[in-house]
Chain A
Amino acid sequence: MFDRYSIFSLARNALSSHQNWPRAWRNPAPRRRYAAIIVGGGGHGLATAYYLAREYGIRDVAVLERGLIGLGNSGRNTTIVRSNYLWDASAQLYEHSLKIWERLSREINYNVMFSQRGVLNLAHDAHGLRELRRRVEANRLNGIDSEILSTAQVQRQVPALNCAPDARYPILGASFQRRGGVARHDALVWGLARAVDALGIDIIQHCEVTAIRQAGGRIIGVDTSRGPIDARTVGVAVAGHSSVLAHMAGFRLPLQSHPLQAFVSEPIKPVLDTVVMSNTVHVYVSQSDKGELVVGAGMDGYKSYSQRGSFPIVEATVNALVELFPSFRRLKMLRQWAGIVDVAPDASPIISRTPVGGLYFNCGWGTGGFKATPGSGHVFAHLLATGEPHPLGEPFTLDRFVTGALVDEHGAAAVAH
């Protein structure tokens, strides 16, 4: 495979002033034909390629990336990893992913800095407490660690949090998933790219798909900015641009692409150990190893492919942040950015066949895709390799938009009386 990274290799290379480190991944030119193509060099696409090779022995694969790998949503998220979803189908899929996260650094020999510092979801009213109980108990019965913390326990866990009973939205309790946490998003992409490359798969950057070629109702290849490439199996994992690719293939998806913004503070010494999320006031925050507070906002209310959001969303998020953490008002927003998230009506992903034979889509992850990256890749690889949905992926096919069997995580989170 590759020269392994370790403390020993680091020491050895220190002796040669680090002059001999090899490239983490090659930069090959595309070949004319592959057994399978993955469109999208983000985490999901790379993870799919990784499992295609590792689990199904399919190595004649190209990952086509329009720009540079990992700079879409993979590099624009708030790096939270958790699996405490309400519905069984979601919980099991995200837990599958979380289990992979727990061994991923060693598996791909790249430290993705998965840091299980725990995820708190705050409840601010009776409705929130009820939904929290429902979710926590469901998580436990699904074998997912989850517990309910009292306000006092929350305060102990996060001393900086405003747990005063007279707060505008007082904290009445929280769910806590200790195995949840954060990871280094770029490291996930680079680590997967290095592993994928070592398995013989071509990662081709600056290669934009411009057309989907079909014959007899099935796919035969793609046209790209670097020429046509043949393949009988094509998996698309392009998040916010899924509708664009679907349009090329001649069908529509139940997706809307929205800006999702996030920002970081200047780096400060450790002040927040756990991930704190609140649906009521709409903010989630953690502190990175570098010391920056990483803060996630809600989606902008309109569609956009511009990778930029609107300032009022930042304002609302900051309002929520300083409501929860009044001492953070003196800290400063250092960088702000936005991704393009593809949202399905039920806020659940789509891992599915399409009307075009041999063409598969993995999309609709909305605001929750990062945490699912390795699991998503694993489940999608199964679909690509076998043509059949992975058991964990069955509830997430396009069929649900015909039958009405939606997995409505959005409704579950958002309804208030």
Chain B
Amino acid sequence: MTERNRLEAGGRIDRSHPLEFRFDGRSLTGYRGDTLASALLANGVHLVGRSFKYHRPRGVLGIGAEEPNALVQVARGAQTEPNVRATQLMLYEGLEASSQNRWPSLAVDLGGLADLASSWMPAGFYYKTFMWPARLWPFYERAIRRMAGLGRAPAAADPDDYDHMHAHCDVLVVGAGAAGLAAALAAARCGARVILADDQSEAGGQLLGERYEIGGRSALAWVSGAMAELRAMSEVRVLQRTTITGHYDHGYLIGCQVFREPGQPDPVGVPRQRLWKIRARRTVIAAGSIERPLVFPDNDRPGIMLAFAARAYCNRYGVRSGSRVVVVTACDDAYRTALDLAAAGVGIAAVVDLRPSGSGHLPRQVRARGIEVLIGQRIVGVRGRARVEALRTQSSAGGAIREIACDLVAMSAGWIPSVHLFSQARGELQFDERLGVFVPLGRLENVVCVGAARGTASLRGALQDGFFAGQVAAQACGLAGREEAQDIATVEPEEAPLDWRGIFGAASLGGRQFVDFQNDVTVDDVRLAVREGYDAPEHLKRYTTAGMGVDQGRTGNINVLALLAEARAEAMTTIAPTTFRPPYQALSFGAIAGALVGPLHAPTRKTPMHDWHAGRGAVFENVGQWKRPRHYPSAGETLQAAVDRECLAVRRGVAIADVSTLGNIDVQGPDAEAFIDRIYCTRMSALGIGRCRYGLMLRQDGMIFDDGIAARLGEQHYLVSTTTAGAASVFAWMEEWLQTEWPDLRVYCTSVTEHYAQIALSGPRSLELLGPLVDIELDAMPFMSMREARVAGVPARVFRLSYTGGPGFEIAVPAGRAYELWTTLFGAGERFGIIAYGTEAMHVLRAERGFIMVGHETDGSVTPGDLGFEGRLAMDKPFIGKRSLRRADLLRLDRKRLVGLLTQAPDCVLPEGAQLLDEPIDSPQSAAPVAMIGHVTSSYFSAHCARSIALGLVRGGQARLGDTLYAWVDGRAIEVTVTAPRFLDAAGKYAYG
């Protein structure tokens, strides 16, 4: 044995498995079953960190989730993790941890100078200064930021895996201590589906640190029996190392299960952490309690520890945290620490009781062991800086100060129920005068606290609580309760009550008395805040930052509130505690994100021809979730060169494009015609069977929200196409109208976007190419029509239409046959010089023709009239959004309307989004605000027109034809001429050449 403070025997560590680890570069040893904290203490290391504000040296205070001080940085590189509680970190071979928030070292921290200046840095000092001169604030702030923060974030992406698990149960029991085990047993014996979640590595809760008996045998033997019984039941799931951390509405709880510590090797491929999403019909909260610290000058020195922690390190880990111990207490429970440590051979210097008497059973036992008990004391201070060396105490009546040499102070001011999950679920709390803490006010419909979590002090009470709550929960789920005598006999002496009012040192004592260890909030800070009017709990918390640290004030909040009541000279019952919000314990972003990172962050949708595109070197762009080929560059070709080539192929020969991503909705039913008419602002009912028409869809407020082609497939059958991004929303919108407003219409909509793939063949030679491959007369097809046909043997719908404004066809085929048809068409097209074209060329081609594109020419504030569609509105029929078009602002003559824009220089391509001005300006700084009369919505170089073209929305629209405007681009005004919003004439030639 190398650890000097490890006891010869005892504890639940596995002494056959020694482990090596490093702390701040020092090589140390511990055992399997140790936490980092217990292993450090076994090695005599108390100083483990520096506090947030004053950089004061700090040691281990607690033993679990409550720990405010012992936060360490664990592991290196991409797996490094800041702010890990040493009290919860399970030791593993090779673990590397280091202290935080200190420079250059833990022992010598220059940040500690802040401690000397602390009288200038009371609560909220930064609100009162650093205001002048203003230009220096960034420098002050930089210094503040460097001093603040705790550990460091990793610099590289996290290489570990995380996953999620959904679970449902009748009864969720949170905590596998005495009450939780009893509740789980009772519920499970009734046949309930039970999840028992516990944050520790083994069941037992606080019993793991005690030397209790249940039913005449050791409590831990009872725990083993209970666990064996639970594990044998098929409807029970036990989750160790799983902290239930969030309690949301309708019985939804979030837990996090830890499989590996930071940096711990993963031999078997388990995730590092798993997020549990549990829907529970009933929840029993048996989360235990946290010991309450005492408040006295310099109560934050390393070596001052919670009394339970001190005995639990001994009982559970075989560690003596000191060799000469003073127990300071305001309750009987802490006497157990003296008894347990003494039994382990640790020297007890004294028990210092703040209460006027100490005559209960436990004090008698302590005295019987020859340990001195001082009563009616108050703590004046301590000696020692990096480690406590002595406790200074005097009678509360005054008198001589006695200094008791020691290297460990174990303190207790009673216990704080862990009501967090109850409060998160909207459970109300009330102050319990006897316990001096807030306890649940009754129960919620589906949620109850049991055991120490509701302030039950005795083990017997906790067991009774648990058994009862487990049965009630199971019964509430419709399961019959089993009457069964429970052997819960315990040996527990009567305890004298806590004196929580006496736990605060007098203001006159001097020295700083800490109430929030992590955020360095002192008694003086609280009193100052109250003096300044921040005298409500929530204001106080925010002003002093008490309770806002990583430990969320688990140990400190109650003392802050008690001080507040004292400062306001009011009863604690008038104080409403601040609301607990999730998470109870900090939850890693990795666990929350689970597997949905990197390529899985969002679904990727690919068309059937995707691999072909990729094989041809297509550059893809994201359009919603879809991957669409933007262009197909040849080797070394620029985007513009590729787009020029693709556009010219469409205008001069033939080219092929994948338009499968456009939404397709099949609309059928006796009332399909009436329905189609209502959803488009243009008339659709006039369509003959086999004919197609372009239409706009409006929101109820008259603004355009999507567009596309509707084809009439039959008397009662239409096919509605949408934009790629609009597919889902248009479908949902149609369903909404049908179900909620027009239930009388017999119409059935089906999204068929993925059923079909669609191929566009564009260009003057498309007819030549396609003609021989189809079994219909293409020549006979009028423009904007559709025929069912077989194309190269594949059943298809052939549309004679194009989004490019030239000759062309679109062919829709079952998705499974699309790749085959695509390659057939491409093969057949090779003698015509066919190439594929992407979305960028599509944009250019449609802009040449003046076709609008939703998202370019529309932004949610554009009406059909704005785009020159007023003539095509069918105002003699009802349609969605119709009434809105008559509103005053939508009739304004100076609305921004669609125009074409040509620059002087043919090769000058305006950036999309550029603003348009009436007059050129030199700089906006001098002229601001400059009146903007419109903006560029689409802009390209058109190889076909041999110049740049642009569309824009301009106030007054085509009333300004021929006017010169100025596009403001990167601080420069570029002259543009307003044209009609189309650049090709009827023959398809550039119109302004």
Contacts and interface: CB of A to CB of B under 8 A. Distances in A.
A binds B: yes
A333 B150 contact: no
A400 B597 CA distance: 43
Contact of B596 (A19, A134, A136, A319): A319
Interface string A103-114: 101100111010
Given A133-B914, A137-B914, A322 B590 contact: yes
Given A138-B915, A411-B859, A291 B925 contact: no
Contacts of B925: 143
A219 to B, nearest CB: 28
A264 B854 CA distance: 37
A330 B158 contact: yes
A5 interface: yes
Contacts of B78: 327
Contacts, number: 333
Given A142-B928, A330-B81, A266 B144 contact: no
B587 interface: yes
B593 A268 contact: no
A124 B624 CA distance: 11
A115 interface: yes
A329 B593 contact: yes
A11 B120 CA distance: 6
A99 interface: no
A111 B929 contact: no
A23 B621 contact: no
A31 interface: no
B929 A6 contact: no
A341 B598 CA distance: 32
Given A330-B590, A411-B861, A18 B725 contact: no
A215 interface: no
Contacts of A7: 129
B889 A410 contact: no
Contacts of B160: 329-330
A250 interface: no
B860 A415 contact: yes
B129 A311 contact: no
Given A17-B119, A106-B134, A326-B158, A133 B911 contact: yes
Contact of A141 (B589, B855, B856, B928): B928
Contacts of A217: none
Contacts of B403: none
Nearest to B142: A270
B141 A289 contact: yes
Contacts of B621: 125-126
A329 B131 contact: no
Given A7-B129, A329-B589, A415-B858, A267 B52 contact: yes
Contact of A329 (B590, B703, B860): B590
A105 B967 CA distance: 39
Nearest to B146: A270
A314 B126 contact: no
Contacts of B991: none
B157 A327 contact: yes
A319 B935 contact: no
Nearest to A141: B930
A14 B123 CA distance: 12
B126 A291 contact: no
Contacts of A70: 539
B854 A24 contact: no
B51 to A, nearest CB: 12
Contacts of A289: 141, 144-145, 148
B125 interface: yes
B347 interface: no
A416 B597 CA distance: 23
Interface in A1-50: 5-7, 9-11, 14, 17-19, 21-27
A327 B586 contact: no
Contacts of B532: 21-24
Interface stretch (A54-62, A185-193, A366-374): A185-193
Contact of B552 (A160, A335, A416): A335
Interface string A89-102: 00010000000000
A268 B150 contact: yes
Interface stretch (B222-230, B245-253, B478-486): B245-253
Contacts of A169: 601-602, 622
A310 B127 CA distance: 34
A111 B930 CA distance: 34
B536 interface: yes
B581 A336 contact: yes
Nearest to A107: B131
Nearest to B531: A21
Contacts of B358: none
Interface residues of A, number: 110
A208 interface: no
B528 A315 contact: no
B853 interface: yes
Interface string B143-182: 0111011111111111010100000000000000000000
A186 B601 CA distance: 35
B131 A6 contact: yes
A14 B128 CA distance: 13
B861 A133 contact: no
A336 B247 CA distance: 12
Given A113-B141, A134-B915, A266 B119 contact: no
Interface in B714-731: 723-725
A334 B533 contact: no
B129 A268 contact: no
B145 A416 contact: no
Interface in B906-941: 911-915, 917, 924-925, 928-930, 932, 935
B538 A168 contact: no
A322 B158 CA distance: 10
Contacts of A331: 82, 153, 588-589
A416 B402 CA distance: 76
A11 B128 CA distance: 11
A355 B44 CA distance: 74
Contacts of B725: 416-417
A132 interface: yes
A244 interface: no
B597 A267 contact: no
A265 interface: yes
Interface string A393-417: 0000000101111101011101111
A248 interface: no
A88 interface: yes
Contacts of A230: none
Given A105-B134, A327-B154, A411 B122 contact: no
A334 B524 contact: no
Contacts of A92: 929
B888 interface: yes
Interface string A300-328: 00000000101100110011011100111
Nearest to B150: A267
A349 interface: no
Contact of A308 (B122, B249, B928, B930): B249
B629 interface: no
B418 interface: no
A269 interface: yes
B83 interface: yes
Contact of B128 (A6, A308, A328): A6
A311 B246 contact: yes
Given A332-B586, A404-B702, A412-B861, A186 B932 contact: no
A109 B127 CA distance: 9
A156 interface: no
Contacts of B930: 141-142
A186 to B, nearest CB: 5
13 contacts: A21-B531, A133-B912, A136-B913, A141-B929, A168-B604, A169-B601, A271-B153, A330-B588, A336-B582, A405-B888, A412-B860, A417-B724, A417-B853
Given A270-B145, A345-B701, A403-B889, 8 more contacts: A75-B542, A88-B932, A266-B150, A290-B149, A319-B597, A322-B590, A330-B158, A331-B82
